[in-house]
Amino acid sequence: MRYRVLGRTGVQVSTLALGAMNFGRIGRTSQEDVESIVGSALDAGINLIDTADAYSGGESEELTGKALGTRRDDVILATKATLPMGDERNHRGSSRRWLITALEGSLRRLGVDHIDLYQMHRWDPNTSDEETLSALTDLQQAGKIRYFGSSTFPAYRIVQAQWAARDRRISRYVTEQPNYSILQRGVESHVLPVTEEYGLGVLAWSPLASGWLSGAVREGQEITTSRSTFMRPRFDLTVPANRAKLDAVEQLAKIADDAGLTMIQLALGFVTAHRAVTAALIGPRTLEHLDSQLAAADVDLPTEVLDTIDEIVPPGTDLAPAEKNDTPPALLDSTLRRR
């Protein structure tokens, strides 16, 4: 396993990090499954685990906390807030009121007294940067979180938050967690240059593009997925974006074969090759999934392989931009762009 410094924090993290979204009912994983995955990941050298309060309604945090047990101090533990936790209108977002409550819930479910990296799961357009950052700074000074970061923020919001922290002389986001894979390269044109400019650590989520780059999705094969109903449209081949992804996958599979690599090694090696990326988040549901992804831990893709990937999916290109979850709200809601 290789390690990189997380932004400017001085904290060293493994280039593959364990994402816990599939822990619990989303991935149909039991406590025993999670303990096996977490234990094997830590034994392999992974030292960052990323979860969120919204994953299976808090179940992921509960399972992760129990699985860590006495190894808590060996792990950079990351979780998130802002996505809805139930139907109550104020049990979401990035207000001071909710973040204090949400953090206490995460600490309780994880069974810990502090979070190493507390991330805003999405930008909240209803809350000012000053409100959110001042609340996070207070929680940091209280010793309940060590650092805080953003996730899936548009580039201009990352910049705005950095300026707000500077102007108010309060703590700033030290990481960003964007959607980044061979099939979704849009962040290369805006987000990653900004993270480099401000020295942010980058934890890339969905480096296997929701399974498209796992090797299990190929032309002529029935696409079977255990994903939720929400994810099924992403595999519907009547959707032009999905057809484009499959065409790219077929070409990428040949590159992997010629290089003596699995598709997973190609995909993860691509993400960790970018100089702005600190770690790629893997999200195994089984030990077999974990083992196949750990095989990419030390992969260095040759320049000629990276150049060929660029020919298939040009730099800065998203094959399915609607899946990025970073679209400015005014493009999705007409009431936000009309008087």
* 111 token code pair: 């069974």
| Residue carrying the six token digits 């090696």 | 269
Pairing of strands 12-14, 3-5: antiparallel
Cβ atoms within 10 Å of 189's Cβ, excluding its own: 13
Active-site hit among 55, 118, 147, 180 = 55
* 141 token code pair: 């000074």
* Sequence-ordered list of residues with C-beta below 8 angstroms from that of 70, at least 6 positions apart, any chain: none
CB contact at 8 A, 18 and 38? yes
Nearest one of 281, 280, 178, 200 to 5, comparing CA atoms: 200
What is the chain's Cα-based Rg?
19
3 given a catalytic annotation: no
As annotated, the active-site residues are: 55
